[in-house]
Amino acid sequence: MNLFTKYIGIGAVAVLVGSTALQAIPQVGNNHFVTVASASSKSKIKKVKLGMTKKQVKKILGKPDRDDSGMLTYEKYGYLYFSKGKLTGGEDKNIQAQVTKKNAAKKSSKVNKRQTLLSQAKYFGTKDVESIQKATYAYASTEIDGGMMYMWKSKAGKLIRVDLDEYGKTAVYKYDDSKDNGLGEQLYIGKTILQKKPRTTVVYP
């Protein structure tokens, strides 16, 4: 059992919560539908965007050679794939380029969110106890066996901090309402900081 989690009862997190002021593109080889598209055809397909409905796509490209529930087939453009009524991919290079760009943006956004979460957890974990206990408008708190438990609504989501007096350690977790103690992934662990370091004043002769 985790050193921190064994001290947390089901009721502790309840106190805090109550008081807290593209769809993959199938690989189709040797596609016999795709032919050399004219300049006019290329111009049309460039107007087709991910997220469009079948009706919108047909308005731009015209009547398809085949219309299935999750796919439109054009001799000039190949297969266009739909999920929940929205265009999610296709064989044409213009559509594939959009999918690649969208996936890259999603990946970048996910990385940025993760970095923000870890940064917020470290900030919370390294904040001194004295300042946290004074800022009751920002941090909810409750006593637990052997220490204190705090909750903070950060810009990255709810975080829970556990301070254990016996060990002088602080751990910060992502709040998980599916867990009885509310402790999700551990994001930070370090020495408990009780007070801010006094400012050093340099006096020159």
Angle at the Cα of 27 (from 86 to 63), degrees rounded to 5?
45
| pLDDT value for 43 | 87
Instruction: Tell me how many helices (H) and strands (E) the chain has.
Output: 5, 9
* Contact predicate 155/120, CB 8 Å: yes
**pTM summary value:** 0.58
| pLDDT score of 166 | 86
pLDDT at 134: 92
User: Using an 8 Å Cβ cutoff, are 22 and 188 in contact?
Assistant: no
Question: What is each CA distance from 169 to 5, 12, 91, 116, 165, in whole angstroms?
Answer: 13, 18, 55, 23, 7
Low-confidence ranges of the chain (pLDDT < 50): 20-36
Residue with tokens 């609504």: 153
Residue with tokens 């705090």: 150
Q: Report the candidate in 31, 27, 45 with the shortest Cα–Cα distance to residue 98.
A: 45
